[in-house]
Each structure stands twice: as C-alpha cells, then as structure tokens.
Amino acid sequence: MRPRKPPPGLIAAAEQDYHAIRDDLAASVRAVRLLAAAWSEVEVFAEVYYALGQVNPRAARAMGAAAMLQIALGRADTLPPTTAPRSPGPVP
C-alpha cells in the first residue's frame, strides 16, 4: 500500500465505480452465503476463486478492494442476508 493519498484523477475515477462495485459485492456476498450453507468452505472458496478468474481482471481487483475496505471498516457482517434460497451455481 502507498503511504500517500492517491492522486485526484485516480480518486475521481474510483468514485465513479465504487458505489456500483459495492452493490455488486453485496450481491456476491449473498450468493456466497447461500453456497456456504450447503458446501464446504474449500468448495465455496474454489467456486469464488474460479468465478473471479472468469471476469474482467479490473472488475475482480475492484471487487477485492471493496471487500477489503468493507472488512477493514467493520462492515463485512452488515450486508443483508439473502432470504430467498436458490440453487447453488456460479458466483456472479
């Protein structure tokens, strides 16, 4: 990690994407929770790892950055749980 703040141009670009990525993260976390209710931890990890490898690398990096930020801010457990079960499948 850098010891200084990112340049203004990078902040402006990130601000455009962050809210959408955070919403995608919330949806993905709900999907992972469904898988975790039925699969082993290693099976879920393998599915998520595979799914992230199938998306645009920039999107995967953004999702990872948003996830780390939410964990660091103590918000990882504040995402609403999924109430409607669906069959396990690829994670979005």
- Each residue's pLDDT tens digit, 65-82: 999 998 999 876 655 554
In the three-class reduction of DSSP (H, G, I as helix; E, B as strand; rest coil), residue 19 is classed as helix
pLDDT bucket at 15, cuts 50 / 70 / 90? confident
Check: CB of residue 76 under 8 Å from CB of residue 28: no
| pTM value surpassing 0.75 | no
Domain boundary assignment for the chain: 10-72
